[in-house]
Structure 1
Amino acid sequence: MRKVLTAAVVLAAGGAASAFLVSRGDTSQATNQAAQAVPVNTAKVTQQTLKDTETADGRLGFGATTAAVNRVAGTVTAVPDSGQELRRGNTVYSIDNKPTTLLYGALPAYRRLADGTEGTDVLQLEQNLQAMGYTGFTVDDEYTDATAAAVEEWQEDLGLDETGVVELGSVVFAPGHIRVDSVQAQEGAPLGPNQPVLNYTGTTRAVTVQLDAADQRLATLNAAVTVGLPDGKTVAGKIQKVSTVIIPAESQDKDPETKIEVIVSVADQRAVAAWSSAATDVTFTASERKNVLTVPVAALVALREGGFGVEVTDGTTSQYVPVKTGLFASGQVEISGTGIKAGTTVGIPK
């Protein structure tokens, strides 16, 4: 005699899918795979690529912002416009009519550079001097008399005192050319040390997504994603940066939120050139299994002796076959087991 024994809910990885699983038949029938009556509802085992995907809201812009902070007290005498793009050698802002110049480099400016200084920041400075056409020194990590002479020449061209010393606050190192996102300081206003002057971004459009901490599995560096644009088109993207951010509480009775901030680069910049800012959908692939055997999640049954199985039928009789489950996604589940192959017919429990 056959009967329904139990019902259980199985959640797929990441909660992408769920199914009610039932154990049918007595123990001896399930264990010995004895013939069963033919199921009314059936499905075919299919071979396909199974993807565990999640879609989240994103914001198209220019990626993460960085603050340019003043290092010396003085009066603001020049600031750029929001949206303005700046390149190597351009003035980012001026204090007391002395320019703070944009140079390229990954290491932020953090100290005074002078004869005898050594380090990565010296190498960055010399690389920039060479790129701007100054010569007579060796490009390495040592600040020598020859470096100082090149700096003096550069200072003369800028209309500055020719000290041969690069004071802290006279340059801003950024990875490449920048776009001014917003300006906090006003021309003519006094500004103390360590006060923000402006925020800047890169000049390449990117998508920013803030994921819940529970979805951190989606944020794999260099992983491919799909970006849905406002015009309904999609474009390929790649996870460029992953960081943790704390969102302050909106009120005293609420707790701060921890978010996973993901920056997605878009290789086809022409596809996103129409928008400086826009809402997007970003589809992440948490895991992927290629060319695996799958059935609808609803085809799984829980065997009394443990584990899962499917009811295999040839149209005349049926029997329960134990299977091993893999990835759950899009209402399908990866399975493997003896006699299971593409085209096999399985029952769908009512």
Structure 2
Amino acid sequence: MSPGPGVARRRRRRRAWLTVTVLAVLATAGAVGFTRWSTKGHADVPKTADSPATAEVVRTDLVDRIEVTGQVGHGPQRPITAARAGTLTWVADPGSVIDRGRPLYAVDARPVIVLFGRTPAYRELAEGVTGPDVKILQENLAALGYRPADPAGSFKAATTAAVKRWQKALRVEQTGRIALGDVVVLPGAVRVGTVSGQLGAPATGELLTVSGTERLVTAELEQAQRGHAADGAKVRLGLPDGRSATGTVRAVAAKSADDKSGGKTTKYDVTIAIDDPALDLAEGSLVDVGFDGEKHAGVLVVPVEALLAPKEGGYALEVLDGTGRRLVPVKLGLFADGKVEVSGAGLAAGMRVVTAA
């Protein structure tokens, strides 16, 4: 019977811990091996009666991979604050989806309507006003069936008439103008998260939070891991039932966090779109997220356990040479998946090197 996802995650974490441990003891193990070579004055290592554990030097592509835990949801929450004074008389329920032209909340029984766009509402819109916010209003009126004939971005008589027809359908006063606080402009349809505003209380401060409607995975990266997450990059997803899937990095947002010393550090929330929309992942479920970082193609690679760290400095490999052994100084490159990139004179793919037992 195959191990469950929890067992698999523990095994991966144990391998990562072992790699760190090996690196920590390299100086001790390496100094012993290399001191024996140095005191003899040449690179030959005496044969021993026991057959050593060995590994092959291989030429391959090495990729710096990390794995973190992500959570299924709908991406970062965005706070919605009231832009009109009055009493909060209605607010959409948590979990509800609000599309274009639908109310998100109401102040003094007057609905605040969602429009789509990238420029937030920041002023009253009325006849004689021009600008990108007017264009957004006109585009939304057209999408809702009230297309004005005025030039784009110019609030004239036709836009006034279209606004009045829309206000009539909303059953609000037909003023022909959009007061500040009548609408909230968002990038698209939203899903209501938490509701903090209290009905009957003044509509001030944060009233609720919203997110996108798409099912997403959010993962947190440390500052040192930031380079693994680039917009549009592919990631691996380990699902709770043991299956695997892929995702695409949608956005990376920096945030301030407390560090162990009581100071501040920067962490990053990575929003990931699930490539297969048919995957039915439960809200709040945890998934393993694998990121690929730096890649070195066609390099010589050995296990980390094969490295020796001489007390004089640098690193070396103990290479099997016929019936004997010799130490070959090497330079190190990329570390990944318990392996390390190595280079040095006389080192070639296919050689066998001694590893830690």
Q: TM-score interval w.r.t. the shorter chain?
A: 0.7 to 0.9
Note the C-alpha offset of 1:150.
Answer: 2.1
Q: Say whether the 8 Å CA contact 1:17–1:331 is kept in structure 2.
A: no
Task: Show the counterpart of 2:59.
Answer: 47
Q: Please, which of 292, 295, 298 is the counterpart of residue 291 of structure 1?
A: 298
User: 1:147 aligned to 2:159?
Assistant: yes
Q: What SS does the corresponding residue of 1:269 show, helix, strand or coil?
A: coil
User: 1:263 aligned to 2:263?
Assistant: no
Deviations 1:138-190 (A, max 9, x none): 56333333333322222222222222221111111111111111222344x13
Q: Say whether the 8 Å CA contact 2:142–2:148 is kept in structure 1.
A: no
Task: Show the counterpart of 1:105.
Answer: 117
Q: Please, which of 144, 147, 159 is the counterpart of residue 135 of structure 1?
A: 147
Aligned-partner Cα distance in 1 for 2:335–2:257: 32
Deviations 1:98-148 (A, max 9, x none): 211111112322222223433332222222112112223356333333333
Note the C-alpha offset of 1:16.
Answer: 9.8
Aligned-partner Cα distance in 2 for 1:233–1:255: 39
Aligned-partner Cα distance in 2 for 1:215–1:263: 15
User: 1:20 aligned to 2:35?
Assistant: no
Name the one with the larger strand percent: 1
Note the C-alpha offset of 1:17.
Answer: 6.9
Relative to structure 1, the CA distance from residue 172 to residue 319 in structure 2 (aligned partners, 3 Å threshold; closer, same or farther) is: same
What is the root-mean-square deviation of aligned Cα atoms in Å? 3.1
After the TM superposition, which residues 1-350 of structure 1 pair with which residues of structure 2 at under 5 Å, given as runs?
18=23, 20-21=26-27, 22-23=30-31, 24=34, 25-26=37-38, 29=41, 34-37=43-46, 40-138=52-150, 140-187=152-199, 189-192=200-203, 194-247=204-257, 258-271=266-279, 273-302=280-309, 306-348=313-355
Q: Say whether the 8 Å CA contact 1:99–1:170 is kept in structure 2.
A: yes
User: How many residues were matched structurally?
Assistant: 330
**TM-score when normalising by structure 1:** 0.82
**Percent identity between the aligned chains?**
36
**TM-score when normalising by structure 2:** 0.80
Deviations 1:43-97 (A, max 9, x none): 1012333232222222211111112221112233332221111111111122222
Deviations 1:289-322 (A, max 9, x none): 3332200112223457653332333322433333
Which one is further off, 152-161 or 167-176?
Answer: 152-161
Relative to structure 1, the CA distance from residue 161 to residue 90 in structure 2 (aligned partners, 3 Å threshold; closer, same or farther) is: same
Q: Say whether the 8 Å CA contact 1:100–1:169 is kept in structure 2.
A: yes
Gaps of 5+ in 1: 1-10
Which one is further off, 124-133 or 114-123?
Answer: 114-123
Aligned-partner Cα distance in 1 for 2:321–2:47: 8
Deviations 1:240-266 (A, max 9, x none): 2222334589xxx96666532222221
Q: Say whether the 8 Å CA contact 2:141–2:148 is kept in structure 1.
A: no
Name the one with the larger helix percent: 2
